Structure 1
């Protein structure tokens, strides 16, 4: 019973006490987050690839 009461109170609070952003702002911020996610993913991939190549060269140099 406590769980049901908790869930109903949570929904009631979401309806009455939470200030929701306008839909246009949500869309704009979602696009910004998506763009930054792609940019940071590509940056991480680039650094990872560079270090991988650098370590491959280093290990080949140490092996020989």
Structure 2
């Protein structure tokens, strides 16, 4: 049980004193970057799906 207490105590100390937390502006910039990247990725995957579906539909309608 002593090991668990020490682990929790060390974890709390590290989170308070050793971890460098981002500033609010940095957090906003990172969030916007992730949002834009996710939207671009979704559009690219959607276009790939549309092209793939259209190509297969055209191919199967040839027979």
The answer to whether the superposition gives a TM-score over 0.5 is: yes
> How many residue pairs get matched?
62
Shift of the 55–8 alpha-carbon distance from structure 1 to 2, 3 Å rule, reads farther
Structure 1 residue runs of 4 or more that deviate by more than 2 Å after TM superposition: 1-12
Alignment map for 1:21-36 (pairs within 5 Å): 21-36=22-37
Alignment map for 1:34-45 (pairs within 5 Å): 34-45=35-46
Q: Counterpart in 1 of 2:19?
A: 18
Structure 2: give runs of 5+ residues left out of the alignment: none
Q: Counterpart in 2 of 1:48?
A: 49
TM-score when normalising by structure 1: 0.77
TM-score when normalising by structure 2: 0.78
Q: Distance in 2 between matches of 1:47 and 1:31?
A: 24
